[in-house]
């Protein structure tokens, strides 16, 4: 018997930490990241694989300064944030 996972049926909370910032799902606030001066990239997806494969939906000013653009995939944005 497999136990039910905690949080089953709820939205996924995904953060991928990079050397100079992070990718995050839409569950987190891009506006707060901007206020804190963080390099943050919002990408829709319910799994790590989806976040890396999908297009960027939001970019903080700091992430844009580092070279992240909205036409990138999450994986491409992660490459920029890991340089």
pLDDT digits (tens, 9 = 90+) for 35-62: 999 999 999 998 999 999 999 999 999 9
pLDDT of residue 51: 94
CB atoms within 10 A of CB 54: 15
The residue among 4, 15, 63, 9 whose CA lies nearest residue 43 is: 15
- For residue 21, the SS3 value is coil
Distance CA 26, CA 69 (A): 17
pLDDT of residue 9: 73
Please report which confidence band the pLDDT of residue 2 belongs to, taking 50, 70 and 90 as the band edges: very low
Q: What is the CATH number of domain 19-81?
A: 3.30.1980.10
What is the average pLDDT value for the chain, to the nearest integer?
A: 90
Q: Can you give the length of the chain in residues?
A: 83
| Encoded tokens for 49 | 């694989």
pLDDT of residue 55: 98
What is the model's pTM? 0.84
| Encoded tokens for 62 | 């700091």
Structural domain boundaries in the chain: 19-81
């Amino acid at each position: 018997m497999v136990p039910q996972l905690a949080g089953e049926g709820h939205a996924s909370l995904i953060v991928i930490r990079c050397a100079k910032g992070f990718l995050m799902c839409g569950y987190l606030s891009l506006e707060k990241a901007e206020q804190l001066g963080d390099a943050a990239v919002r990408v829709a997806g319910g799994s790590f694989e989806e976040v890396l494969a999908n297009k960027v939906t939001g970019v903080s000013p700091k992430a844009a300064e580092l070279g992240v653009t909205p036409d990138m995939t999450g994986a491409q944005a992660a490459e920029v944030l890991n340089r």
